[in-house]
Amino acid sequence: MGLGPDASKVETWEDSSKSRVVVVEKKKVKKNGEVEETGCWVRFSFRNCMPSRSKVDSFMSGTTASCGKSTDEKNRDQQVAPVGSSTSTSNIESTISTPNFSEELKVASQLRKFTFNDLKLATRNFRPESLLGEGGFGCVFKGWIEENGTAPVKPGTGLTVAVKTLNHDGLQGHKEWLAEINFLGDLSHPNLVKLIGFCIEEDHRLLVYEFMPRGSLENHLFRRGSVPLPWSIRMRIALGAAKGLAFLHEEVQRPVIYRDFKTSNILLDADYNAKLSDFGLAKDGPEGNDTHVSTRVLGTYGYAAPEYVMTGHLTSKNDVYSFGVVLLEMLTGRRSMDKNRPNGEHNLVQWARPLFGDKRRFYRLMDPRFEGHFSIKGAQKAIEIAAHCLSRDPKARPLMSEVVEALKPLPKLKDMASSSYYFQSMQAARSRSMPNAKNGNKMQVTFQPRKGTPVRSLSSQSSAQASPHQLPGVSPLPQIRK
C-alpha cells in the first residue's frame, strides 16, 4: 500500500450495497518522541456478504463468527488519494484497553437479562432458517420468548424477537454493543426500535429487540423482485424516520448524533411505520460551548456528510445530510452508490444535484417504478427538502423538526402525475423513442396537441436541450434556502 510500518489506525466502512468495505487508514509518525496522525487514506475492498450455514456453525462452535467484515482482502485493496487529515481524534476512542464491564455498562432497569442458553433455544440453536440478516455488528436471528419473561417458548407463540449476535472482532465491536445498550436502554420513542434485553455471558454478547416483520427499507427499495413501495407509504416512512432523528437531536436531555442513518437501519413494522435501529455508532452531541464532537470517521460510504469525512468533526448536521441521501434514494429508487450505473451516475448525490434547481426536469429524479403514481406537488417539495438537507454548507441544512413539518402533508397529496396530460405525453414519447435509441437512431418526437395546447417537440438526442411546457397547475420549484 506504500503507507509504511507506521500506518496503524484502521477504520472500516460498510457500503450500502453490502459488496464493498471501505477502510480508512491513518498514518502515524513520530515527532519529538510523540505519535502524531498526519493523514488518512481510503481503500476499497469487495467481498461477498451472503450468509451461509458454515457462518452460523462457526458461531455455535465458539469461534469468531464470519457474518461481519472479511479480513482477507489484501490482494483486492485499491488505494486512492488522501482524503484529508485529522489530528483531533478522540483519545478515548483511539486507546485500546481491556473492556471493563462494571464501569462501562449502564443497564436500564427495564431491560431483561437473558442467558445464552435462553437465546440459543429461543432461536432454535441459531439455525440458518432463523437467520434474518447480518451487518457490521453481527448476525440477526428470529426467536420466540415469553411475553413478560426471558424463557424460550415454542415458535409462533409468546413474543417474537430479533436476536443480534456480536462478532468477536475486538474492542470496536464491544464499544458498539455497549452503545446499543446505553442508548436504546434509556431512549424510548415510537420511531426507535425497542431494545428488550441483552445477554453477557463469558465471551457471548447478544442483544434482543422487538421483531420488525417488514424488514428494512433497503430491501423494499433495492431487493430484486420486491414490490415497489407506493408514494404515500414512502413519504410516511420518510416522515417516521425524520421524527426519530428529530427526537434524538432536539427532544432528549442530551442530544444524540445517530451517525449511521441509512436505508438498512430503517426497519418497518407490520403497518410500515419506520423505526431507527443499530445505535452502535451513535454519539452524545457536543456540550456547552462546543460546536462539534471530534471522533474517528466511522459510518457508511455514500451517506456521511463530506465535512465530517474530511475533518472528523461530528455534528447533528451529519445526520441531516444522511437523511437527504436516504430521501433521495426513496424518490429515485437508486442506491447512494451504484457502480453498475453509467458513468456520471455512480454517486447519487452528484448525479442528482444538477437537477435540483431545474423546474422542467425534476421528473427525471423520480423512480420509474412509480409509473406516474406520485404527487407532482409532493415530489417537488420532497426534492426541495432533499436538496436543502444536502447543502454543502452544514449551517444551511435544516433542523430535523423543520423537516418533519415539511414532510407532514406529503403522504396525503392526491395530484397524481399519471393523470396529467404532460406526463402521459412524455411517457408515450419515451416508449416510442426507446426502440430507436437502442439502435443508435435519432428520432424526433412530436407531442399531439390538444385544444389550447401549443405543439412541443422533444429530441431523443439530448434531454438536456428539451424544453417541455410547465406542468399544469404546478408552481415552479421554490428557491432552496441558503
Residues 110 and 233 in one domain: no
The C-alpha cell at 220 is 423494499
Phi, psi (degrees; rounded to nearest 5) at 169: -120, 25
Residues 217 and 119 in one domain: no
> In angstroms, what CA-CA distances link 470 with 363, 376, 423, 456, 475?
12, 12, 11, 11, 8
Q: What residue type is assigned to position 393 of the chain?
A: D
Per-residue pLDDT of the chain (482 residues; tens, 9 = 90+): 444 444 444 444 554 444 444 444 444 444 454 444 444 444 433 334 334 444 444 444 443 344 544 333 333 233 223 333 333 333 333 333 344 554 455 655 679 999 999 999 999 999 999 999 886 677 999 999 999 999 999 999 999 999 999 876 544 577 788 888 888 888 999 999 999 999 998 888 999 999 999 999 999 999 988 999 999 999 999 999 999 999 999 999 889 999 999 999 999 999 999 999 988 888 888 876 777 777 888 888 899 999 999 988 899 999 999 999 999 999 999 999 999 999 999 999 999 999 998 777 788 899 999 989 999 999 999 999 999 999 999 999 999 999 999 999 999 998 888 887 777 776 777 677 665 544 544 444 333 444 444 433 333 333 333 333 333 333 443 443 43
Dist CA 84 CA 39 (whole Å): 6
Active centre residues (catalytic): 260
Residues 343 and 413 in one domain: yes
Dist CA 22 CA 44 (whole Å): 5
Range of the domain at 145: 104-210
Residues 269 and 155 in one domain: no
Q: What's CA 44's distance to the chain center, in Å?
A: 18
Longest CA pairwise span in the chain (Å): 83
Phi, psi (degrees; rounded to nearest 5) at 215: 70, -155
Helix, strand, coil tally for the chain in percent (to 5): 35, 20, 45
Residues 270 and 169 in one domain: no
Binding residues for ATP, by number, are 164
Residues 166 and 310 in one domain: no
Domain count, the chain: 2
Residues 374 and 400 in one domain: yes
Query: What is the pLDDT, as a whole number, of residue 477?
Result: 38
Query: What is the pLDDT, as a whole number, of residue 108?
Result: 55
Q: What residue type is assigned to position 207 of the chain?
A: L
pTM here is 0.71
Degrees to nearest 5, angle at CA 298 with 293 and 304:
85
Q: Helix, strand or coil for residue 21?
A: strand
Instruction: CATH number of the domain at 128, please.
Output: 3.30.200.20
